[in-house]
Amino acid sequence: MSVSDTTSAGMEEDRQDNEGADQASSREPDARKIVNSYITKQNVVHFIKLQELREKGWQNPEADTVFAKQRNVADKPSEATAAHFFRLMKDIAADMTRSCGAFDLSRVEGPSTVLDTCFAPGGFAQYLLDEGHVSSIKAFTLPPDIGGHKIFAKDPKLHVEEIDVTMLAGEMGLTAADVPPSHPDAANFVYKNMIDECEKFDLVICDGMVLRTHTRHLYRESSEGCRLSSVQFYMALQHIKAGGTMVVLLHKPEAFYNVKLMHRFSQFSQVTLFKPKRAHAHRSSFYMVAKNIQPDHDAVTEILTNCKETWRVATFGTEEEFRAFVWHRPEDAQALMEVFGERFIGLAKKVWRIQCHALAKKSWTV
């Protein structure tokens, strides 16, 4: 979890479309229109109002000033600010656990293990350590020297690897022979497996996002969100225990990528959505909590295959190949809403309600 994840405003996310989910959905406007139309026809009041508030924010210059200040704080936090958001993430973990049991490991039989795919500053991990039910936490985090955030969580049970997880070619099934020597990142890929094949976890946290402070080659700019989410999901579903839990950071429930993701996860787990009412309230971010995951389900195999192919195309393909790969036909969106639309609205309406109420209080949406 990055500091920027708790400071950028929801309107800014909607305007930039720079999250992993939105990188895909922004390339499928027809699919997004179909989803939005379906929700509107169901007269979901808070979603309709939220769309109006977003439009007001886009038209108000005051929002630009607010966003610029927040980006500066996110990209260059003081020690006190970074520590504040570390504590905030601990509080959000507590709220999420009270709401849906997301971080509750008290009922795990035997040693309980956790994988955190994008760790710093470590607020979620620290909450788990403080609760005392976790035996060990394996974590990955972007090195500070290439734009990663400072780690605040400290404990002998915590094992942190500073690495850019989007470069874990070995985890995604590649060897050095598969990578063209002319590739811009040819020397930066990591081919060893960072997690033992037999290593399984009771809880996996997938809350990474693309950082503006991360120095990377230009070819990655348009697809970095997809590269990151693909690796996170692949590691998570490869190493989750049967009956385990995943906590996933997403943005805008109505993005077609997210609707499709919720539908898939609903086939092999119990899915709930949680939106913090603290720093996140006016933002489009929320968490998908998937409990009682059955990793041997056929749908999991399909996701794993798709993750590897998405990462490969986003890493080695052309811009045109990537766009074609993530594109979804309008008829696919229509078919999905027919079978999953009612369930989806039931999951998402609380997220929209919280954001709607919070945005309505902002001066730039009045």
Contact criterion met (CB below 8 Å) for 8 and 74 = yes
Q: What is the pLDDT of residue 345?
A: 99
Q: Which amino acid is at 28?
A: E
The set of residues, in sequence order, having a beta carbon less than 8 Å from that of 349 and lying 6+ positions away, is 44, 46, 47
Contact criterion met (CB below 8 Å) for 191 and 169 = yes
Q: What is the pLDDT of residue 120?
A: 85
Domains of the chain by start residue, with CATH? 79-322 (3.40.50.150)
**CA–CA dist 190, 169 (Å, integer):** 6
Beta strands 158-162 and 136-141 are parallel
Q: In terms of C-beta density within 10 A (0-12 exposed, 13-18 middle, 19 or more buried), how is residue 250 classed?
A: buried
What are all long-range contacts of 41-44, with beta carbons under 8 Å and residues at least 24 apart?
Answer: 42/341, 42/345, 44/345, 44/349, 44/352
First vs last C-alpha separation in the chain: 31
Sign of CA dihedral 294, 94, 154, 78: positive
Residue 215 has phi, psi (to 5 degrees) of -80, 125
Q: What is the pLDDT of residue 271?
A: 99
pTM greater than 0.85: yes
Per-residue pLDDT of the chain (366 residues; tens, 9 = 90+): 332 333 333 333 444 333 344 444 444 568 999 999 999 999 999 999 999 999 998 888 887 787 777 777 666 767 888 888 899 999 999 999 999 999 999 989 999 999 999 998 999 999 999 999 999 999 999 888 876 778 899 999 999 999 999 999 999 999 999 999 999 999 999 999 999 999 999 999 999 876 555 567 666 777 888 999 999 999 999 999 999 999 999 999 999 999 999 999 999 999 999 999 987 799 899 999 999 999 999 999 999 999 999 999 999 999 899 988 988 889 999 999 999 999 999 999 999 999 999 999 988 887
